[in-house]
Chains A and B, each alone.
Chain A
């Protein structure tokens, strides 16, 4: 079991290194280097080649790409993403606030969406093909199909303009106090979880319907085991196994949805910061933001894998042996 866990963690690190290489190469193969990209056409017209070379040397851009990559990676692994070219500010300082805000959004979403989706999924599976299932299934299709910019703006219209309970846009800067962030997070979280709950509850319902119709559930029923135990001890853990991997992939895909939500609400998160950095052509910030996004995806998948190892003894043994 331990070797299975270590294998998963090792694999995650390997994936992160590959992603970082990909990000680095992707920014490297673009025409011009980080300096060319960062400077405006006006700057380029004014500066002499000698001045440019001097600036390159100061930024370390004259060194071979491989050296710069290793340098960047060894820094990134300990949270040091270098400095921006234009202002010379440490990237870590720029990215830290948005990162915290994005994590806050992700954690709040997970804390609300997962339990609600589980309850709804269990209700739908238990009353399969009856009224509750039909209501949940219809609601899920609507909720899943609703684009975030529609639901987000609808929520703003409802709860910020007609009923002024929450602020329409967020005026807090990126390092706003945690408690204030919590209050303004309500509408963005509500926007994200509409789709998440719809998708996750469908996923769980599917797995649960299958395990409730399985031979082992029938055997337990015919042994007189109570329905509550059958659902919560036998069927739900079994249905989580196929659900978790799909859920991790979904949450990973959610990152793109979060960018939309952050734009709609002007939520000072990593997605918005990434868009700003691209606009301002701050290569180092783009690299850091994309890398951190990849870290998020890898962590989600790792957590799903580890939960499956905890839930399914068959996986434990198979990976433990080979």
Chain B
């Protein structure tokens, strides 16, 4: 057996100085050339486990029991120099965030060369030649030039290739990939996954792939382990496990994954249905919206300022009461700019905005209090949009007092009702944002937005930082609140599955331009633009059991490689 762990336990000291187990009795085995996926939600211990496979723990935690055997030898018995000799040579790691995992003041080449020189004692010239060959193997364009560049000069996808090349430098037997594509766009992710599969075929490396994304694991791995609270709850062949999960937890995870094939938004029936639906009046009408980012540099006489980058061009849409418009695109597509313009955080460069039939003034500071009440915004990171020094109660009472002039007693009672509506106990009114989980924080942020009884709510990637099961819950709440209140919603996301779940209509943005638009069902069923098809393919769920089929490798999906570095 190439890699084997038995009863591995990793402990850390919690705030009260008690030893807690982050990984609790995990045993797994991997033979050469095999692929194993480790899945689980945040905090389940999967990344801690990954590092422990290299006999490494972060400061504050340590391996308290069990064995990690590579080629029959327990590497936990080795002294530090012996461990270092194994890391990078026998087992290598592709870390989570390629953007922060390269030393910013060293060239790409220096960071690959040093690994080769350390482990194989190569000369400077020999190391350089090998590094360039490695970069070439990861399909990096112009590898010799990239060798001399700095990390910030490369795109996220290219940096991920560098990190993969560095991990493969000494042709390790095992490659551990810790959420290697989470920080990347979906289309880039697809290309990186294909690259990993290609390299595995070429070098015969065994893969351990760690991800919270079951779809990604299904694309790459023959076998899967599901982790929860440091324990392995289920393990088996990926296909069989997804077809017939034994554990309720696995079933729950599978159910929570939003799919592009899901039915259109299902809003629960309510006792007092709010006005809304296809025939309702348009809440927001946007015509020919354009936006340029401001040019850089000082405004000096005689030196014309360079024209800013175009963020959005000629965007037109309207949202009716009680309906949701999904805005989908990858990073840099301009979707967050649209949200900022509508909420008055950025002035529109061109075009007209009409809100409930009347023209909308540009800057939020120049809009009336009532108009600001009627347009509410919810952001991706709830922790940074909730004031850390205010209790949940004070956070929810503020809009009630400012917009409706409620007295403190009524406002607190109303805040309690809002919390309960968002399925949180009233006792949470006295807690502070930092004491809540990510899902709870985002529900507080949503409750604050709904406290203003808005006509339009703009949601910018509100579930992107959440685990799938939590995301599922938050989306359910959003849909049912919308059914009750008839609020129109502009929902921005890069995740097509999420968009499909909540949006009646969809607009696909790329580089600030509309690629596809229309009812979500129609656009997803018959995409007109090649970019929409590419996004759908990248987001396509492969975890549905397909009888008699091997796990679909990205290689067989025939992506276009052309615009990889765009």
Show the binding face of A for B, using Cβ within 8 Å: 213-226, 229, 233-234, 237-238, 241, 311-314, 317, 321-322
Alpha-carbon distance A288/B56, docked complex (angstroms): 60
CB distance from A187 to the nearest CB of B (A): 39
Which of B37-45, B94-102, B540-548 forms contacts with chain A?
B94-102
Inter-subunit contact A222/B54 (CB<8 Å): yes
Please state if A216 and B54 are interface contacts (CB–CB under 8 Å): no
Instruction: Report Cα–Cα, A214/B51, bound state, in Å.
Output: 15
Q: Is the CB of A219 within 8 A of B163?
A: yes
CB of B84 within 8 A of CB of A216, answer: no
Contact A216 B93 (CB under 8 A): no
> Are A220 and B86 in touch, CB under 8 angstroms?
no
Chain B residues near A241 (CB-CB < 8 A): 105
Instruction: List chain A residues, Cβ under 8 A from B96.
Output: 215
Bound form: Cα–Cα A233–B106 in Å: 9
A222-B95 in contact (CB<8A)? yes
**B85 contacts partner chain A, Cβ-Cβ < 8 Å:** yes
For the complex, what is the distance from the CA of A208 to the CA of B280, rounded to whole Å?
Answer: 60
Known interface pairs A313-B150, A322-B297. Does A221 touch B102 (Cβ–Cβ under 8 Å)?
no
CA distance A215 to B104 in the complex (A): 11
A222-B87, A223-B87 known; A313 vs B93 contact (CB < 8 Å):
no
Interface pair A216/B101, CB less than 8 Å apart: yes
Give Cα A218 to B115, complex, Å: 14
Contact A214 B88 (CB under 8 A): no
Say whether A219 contacts B105, CB under 8 Å. no
Closest to A312 in B: B105
Contact A238 to B103, CB < 8 A, known contacts A223-B115, A224-B115, A313-B152: yes
B88 with A224: CB separation less than 8 A: yes
Contacts A214-B100, A215-B95, A215-B100 given; does A221 touch B87 at CB 8 Å: yes
Query: Restricting to B64-116, which residues have a CB under 8 Å from any CB of A?
Result: 84-89, 92-93, 95-97, 100-106, 111, 114-115
Between A221, A224, A225, A241, the greatest number of chain B beta carbons within 10 A of the residue's beta carbon is seen for: A224
Residue in B closest to A235 when the chains form the complex, CB atoms:
B103
14 more contacts with CB within 8 A, not counting A216-B102, A225-B88, A314-B150, are A216-B104, A218-B101, A219-B93, A219-B95, A221-B87, A222-B93, A223-B88, A223-B166, A224-B118, A225-B118, A234-B103, A313-B104, A314-B152, A317-B150
Taken together as a complex, chains A and B put the C-alpha atoms of A220 and B84 apart, in Å, by 11
**Distance in Å: Cβ of B111 to nearest Cβ of chain A:** 7
Shortest beta-carbon distance from B92 to chain A in Å: 7
Closest to B99 in A: A215
B93, closest chain A residue (CB): A222
Residues of A within 8 A of B100 (CB): 214-216
- Contact assessment for A215 and B101 in the assembled complex, using a CB-CB cutoff below 8 Å: yes
Mask, B141-168, CB within 8 Å of A = 1, is 0000000001011000000000100110
- How many Å lie between the Cα of A192 and that of B114 in the bound state? 40
Assess A224 versus B87: contact at CB under 8 Å? Given A219-B163, A322-B297.
yes
For residue B296, CB closer than 8 A to chain A, the reply is yes
Task: Check B95 against A218 for contact (C-beta < 8 Å).
Answer: yes
| B474 → chain A closest CB, angstroms | 28
B119: CB under 8 A from chain A?
Answer: yes
- A224 contacts B85, C-beta separation under 8 Å: yes
Q: Which residues of A contact B118 (CB under 8 A)?
A: 224-226, 229
Tell me which residues across on chain B come within 8 A of A317, comparing CB atoms.
150, 152-153
Q: Is B562 an interface residue (CB 8 A)?
A: no
B residues in contact with A237, CB < 8 Å: 105
Tell me whether B114 and A229 are in contact (CB under 8 A): yes
Give the top 5 A-B pairs by smallest Cβ distance, nearest first: A224-B88, A223-B88, A224-B87, A313-B150, A215-B100
Most chain A CB within a 10 A radius of its CB, from B58, B88, B103, B114: B103
Is B88 within 8 A of A238, CB to CB? no
Give bound CA distance, A19 to B169, whole Å: 55
Q: By the criterion CB–CB under 8 Å, are B92 and A216 in contact?
A: no
Q: Give the contacting residue for A221; candidates B56, B85, B106, B166; CB below 8 A.
A: B56
Contact A226 B84 (CB under 8 A): yes
Q: In the complex, which of the residues B58, B93, B104, B114 contacts A225, with contact meaning CB atoms closer than 8 Å?
A: B114
* Inter-chain contact A311/B167, CB cutoff 8 Å: no
B59 at interface by CB-CB < 8 Å: yes
CB distance from A185 to the nearest CB of B (A): 35
- A237 vs B87: C-alpha distance in the bound complex, in angstroms? 24
B172 to A: closest C-beta gap in Å: 10
- Complex Cα distance, B86 from A84, in Å, reads 74
Instruction: For the complex formed, measure the closest distance between the CB of A317 and the CB atoms of chain B, giving whole angstroms.
Output: 7
Bound complex: CA A241 to CA B104 (Å) = 11
Taking CB as reference atom, which chain A residue is nearest B90?
A: A224
Interface hub of B85, B152, B153 (most chain A Cβ within 10 A): B152
Pair A213/B167 contact, Cβ less than 8 Å? no
Which B residues are CB-close (under 8 A) to A217? Answer: 103
21 contacts between A and B (CB under 8 A): A215-B96, A215-B97, A215-B101, A216-B100, A219-B101, A219-B102, A220-B114, A221-B56, A222-B93, A223-B87, A223-B166, A225-B88, A233-B106, A233-B114, A234-B106, A238-B103, A311-B105, A313-B153, A317-B150, A317-B152, A322-B297
The complex places the Cα of A234 from the Cα of B106 at a distance, in Å, of: 8
Question: Do residues B103 and A216 form an inter-chain contact, with CB atoms below 8 A?
Answer: yes
A216, B159: Cα distance in complex, Å? 12
Alpha-carbon distance between A219 and B166 when the two chains are bound, in angstroms: 10
Partner of A220, one of B51, B85, B97, B111: B111
Tell me which residues across on chain B come within 8 A of A223, comparing CB atoms: 87-88, 92-93, 115, 166-167, 169
> How near does chain A come to B112, taking the closest CB pair, in angstroms?
9
**B59 and A213: CB pair below 8 A?**
yes
* Bound: A214/B95 CA distance, A: 12
B1 to nearest A CB, angstroms? 22
Q: What residues on B are CB-neighbors of A214 within 8 Å?
A: 100
Report Cα–Cα, A156/B152, bound state, in Å.
53
Chain A nearest CB: distance from B75 CB in Å?
12
How many Å lie between the Cα of A226 and that of B80 in the bound state?
10
Q: Which residues of A contact B92 (CB under 8 A)?
A: 222-223
Decide if A224 touches B102 in the complex (CB within 8 Å). no
Instruction: Tell me the complex Cα distance, A18–B221, Å.
Output: 66
Which B residue's beta carbon lies closest to that of A214?
B100
Bound-complex Cα distance A223 to B96 (A): 14
Tell me the complex Cα distance, A221–B88, Å: 9
Known A238-B104, A238-B105, A322-B296; contact A222-B56, beta-carbon cutoff 8 A: yes
B119 contact set on A, CB distance < 8 A: 224
Residues of A within 8 A of B166 (CB): 219, 223
B66 to chain A, nearest CB (A): 20
Tell me which residues across on chain A come within 8 A of B84, comparing CB atoms.
224, 226
Q: Which residues of B contact A321 (CB under 8 A)?
A: 296
Q: Which residue of chain B is the closest to A222 with respect to CB atoms?
A: B93
Complex Cα gap A198–B318 (Å): 62
Least Cβ distance of A3 to chain B in Å?
A: 12
Which residues of A lie under 8 Å from residue B59 when comparing CB positions? 213
How many Å lie between the Cα of A220 and that of B101 in the bound state? 9
In angstroms, how far is the closest chain B Cβ from the Cβ of A134?
16
A237 to B97, CA, bound (A): 21
Q: CA–CA, A96 to B17, complex, Å?
A: 62
Shortest distance between the CB of B87 and any CB in chain A (Å)? 4
Q: Are B104 and A312 in contact (CB under 8 A)?
A: yes
- In the assembled complex, the Cα of A234 lies from the Cα of B114 at a distance in Å of 11
B50 and chain A: residue at smallest CB distance: A222
Q: Which residues of A are found within 8 Å of B163, using beta-carbon distances?
A: 219
Cβ 8 A contact of B104, one of A219, A233, A314: A314
Bound form: Cα–Cα A238–B85 in Å: 25
